[in-house]
Each structure stands twice: as C-alpha cells, then as structure tokens.
C-alpha cells in the first residue's frame, strides 16, 4: 500500500473553502435557531390552546427524528411546499435550522422553568409585574443555566453539518469525499477529513467543558 499525502496539499484550496462552508452553515443555523427557539419556548411557556399545542408538537416532532432523514425530506418536500426549487445549501440550512430550533426551544424552556417559583413570588411581592419579574429576576438567572447547554448544542450542530453532504452541499464532508472519488486516495482523504474535523472540534469541545465548569450552578 502506497500512500500519497500530497493530494491533501494539492486540494487544500477546496478543503479550506469547504471548511468555510461548514462554519457558515453552523453560524447561519444558530443565527436562525436562537431567536426561533426562544419564540417557540415563549409560546410553550406562556401561550395556550392551539398555539401552545403547536409549539409542543413541533419540539417533540423534531427531537424524535434523525437529522439525516429531515435533510432528505426537506430536499424533496420543500420545493413542492414552497413552489420553487431551493439550492442544496438553503435546503440543508432549512433542515438544520428546523432541527436545532426544536432543541433550543427545549433548552430555553427548561432553563426558565428551573428558576424556583419563590423567586418570582419575591419579585411580585415587591410589586413587580410578571414581565418585570421575568426580565429582571428569571431571565438573568436562566441564562446562566442555558448558556452551557447552548454551547453543547453548538458543538453538536457543527458536527451535524456533515449530514447535509448527502444532498451535495459543498461542506467539508462532501468535498473530502468528492476528492477521494476523483483521486482514489481513500485513506489519505478520509483521514484528512477526520483530522480537520478533529482540529476544529476538539478545541470547541474543550471550550464547552470550560463554559460548563465556569457556569456550574449549585443548588
């Protein structure tokens, strides 16, 4: 078996672009999923009737489906639902955003619910309205609990961007496997792909650990 690692170097341009695409996907997904998740959590906590049921169903639905299936489903269904064809990038982004929104909604809801009722009562006993109590007492405390979980979700999202490779989005996994197919350098390209993900992901995982230590909440 002869190995030729120079293929990695030769194709470094494509790999770097692909890495950029991976990062872009992750950032764009979070940019959508954070506000949407917050809205959904608000609906679930404070709305009632069909609106609340809708929020609950959405979260339960997307938390119980494999993301890769959502990607395929989005690829085939979204064009029909929206009436026009979406690029693979947008389709992938939509699938990722739908998925992460559900997780964020759950994170926000659990964070807010974890604040003891007594805190709200103490705020209201001072004469604050529910909204004021939320803003000045509940949310500042909830954010402390929410942040570590969001960090963890981010790392998962970063890895999950690899799944949109199945609909030919030019992120790292897809491009690596394309180069592999073109050059037949299987071990080299796949190892390079693994190494790049590792180089990106390892520091992120350690950062999440640090965040969780720093923001550890003792009851």
Residues in the site for other proteins, rule: CB under 8 A? 1, 60-61, 63-69, 72-73, 76-77, 80, 116, 118-119, 121-130, 132, 136-137, 140-141, 144, 155, 159-160, 162-163, 165-166, 173, 177, 180, 186-187, 190-191, 193-194, 197-198, 200-202, 204-206
Shortest distance, CB of residue 142 to other proteins, whole angstroms? 10
Size of the chain in residues: 219
CA 192, CA 189: separation in Å to the nearest integer? 5
- 13 vs 81 by CB, closer to other proteins: 81
Shortest distance, CB of residue 143 to other proteins, whole angstroms? 9
- 35 vs 82 by CB, closer to other proteins: 82
Shortest distance, CB of residue 1 to other proteins, whole angstroms? 6
Tokens of 122: 């103490």
Contact 183, 6 (CB under 8 A): no
Nearest CA among 170, 116, 178, 176 for reference residue 142: 116
Shortest distance, CB of residue 187 to other proteins, whole angstroms? 5
Which residues make Cβ contacts (< 8 Å) with residue 79, sequence separation at least 6? Answer: 85, 86
CA 98 to each of CA 24, 41, 65, 70, 149: distance values in angstroms, whole numbers, following the listed order: 16, 14, 11, 9, 18
- 35 vs 126 by CB, closer to other proteins: 126
Nearest CA among 154, 38, 168 for reference residue 91: 168
- 39 vs 183 by CB, closer to other proteins: 183
- 39 vs 155 by CB, closer to other proteins: 155
CA 184, CA 94: separation in Å to the nearest integer? 32
- 39 vs 124 by CB, closer to other proteins: 124
CA 166, CA 168: separation in Å to the nearest integer? 5
Shortest distance, CB of residue 125 to other proteins, whole angstroms? 4
Which residues make Cβ contacts (< 8 Å) with residue 199, sequence separation at least 6? Answer: none
Shortest distance, CB of residue 162 to other proteins, whole angstroms? 4
Shortest distance, CB of residue 155 to other proteins, whole angstroms? 7
- 51 vs 77 by CB, closer to other proteins: 77
CA 91 to each of CA 43, 75, 87: distance values in angstroms, whole numbers, following the listed order: 26, 6, 6
């Amino acid at each position: 078996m002869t190995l030729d690692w120079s293929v990695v170097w030769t194709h470094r341009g494509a790999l770097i672009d692909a890495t950029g695409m991976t990062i872009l996907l992750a950032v764009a997904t979070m940019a959508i999923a954070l506000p949407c998740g917050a809205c959904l959590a608000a609906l679930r906590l404070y709305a009632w009737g069909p609106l609340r049921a809708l929020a609950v169903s959405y979260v339960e639905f997307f938390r119980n489906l494999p993301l890769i299936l959502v990607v395929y489903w989005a690829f085939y269904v979204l064009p029909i639902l929206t009436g026009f064809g979406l690029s693979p990038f947008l389709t992938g982004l939509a699938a990722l955003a739908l998925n992460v929104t559900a997780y964020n909604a759950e994170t926000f809801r659990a964070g807010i619910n974890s604040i003891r009722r007594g805190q709200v009562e103490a705020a209201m006993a001072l004469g604050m309205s529910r909204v004021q109590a939320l803003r000045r007492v509940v949310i500042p405390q909830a954010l402390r609990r929410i942040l570590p979980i969001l960090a963890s979700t981010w790392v998962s999202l970063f890895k999950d961007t690899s799944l949109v490779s199945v609909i030919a989005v030019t992120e790292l996994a897809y491009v690596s496997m394309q180069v592999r197919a073109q050059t037949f350098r299987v071990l080299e390209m796949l190892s390079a792909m693994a190494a790049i993900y590792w180089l990106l992901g390892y520091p992120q995982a350690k950062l999440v650990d640090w965040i969780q230590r720093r923001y550890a909440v003792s009851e």
